[in-house]
Amino acid sequence: MDSRLSLPDITDRAGVNAARRAIHDDRTLRGLSETFKVLGDQTRLKICLALARRELCVGDIAALLSLTESAVSHQLRLLKTMRLVTYRREGKQTYYMLDDEHIEDLIRLGVRHVNEP
């Protein structure tokens, strides 16, 4: 018995080749997968939705979401690591915002998708 994996015959070679080109390299796929994983948490998603409206400090995010500042800081650390949020300092206060418009676009598209009939 042949131990090699038997692949089915390709029906649409051009279609398969086009689909193959659409599949990104492993590094890109890992990054995309991690981004969706981070956004898959409701608390982090709520933070991103709030920051899509305006920049906020940790205390304001905590009050908005009824969380501790420690819990918000932990979530923001993860979001910063994934380059989803960034921050600026103003005196002793730190304000957080989405890293760029692509993050807001991604969330907006997701909202539109789940709200479609």
Give pLDDT tens digits for 60-102: 999 999 999 999 999 999 999 999 999 999 999 999 999 999 9
Distance CA 24, CA 27 (A): 8
Going along the chain from its start, the domains and CATH numbers come out as: 25-108 (1.10.10.10)
Q: What is the mean pLDDT of the chain?
A: 92
**What CA dihedral angle connects 106, 67, 75 and 37, to 10 degrees?**
-50
pTM of the predicted structure, to 2 decimals: 0.84
The whole-angstrom distance between residue 35's C-alpha and the CA centroid of its chain comes to: 4
Strand ranges for 18-99 from DSSP E? 56-57, 85-90, 93-98
Query: What confidence tier does 9 reach under pLDDT thresholds 50, 70, 90?
Result: confident
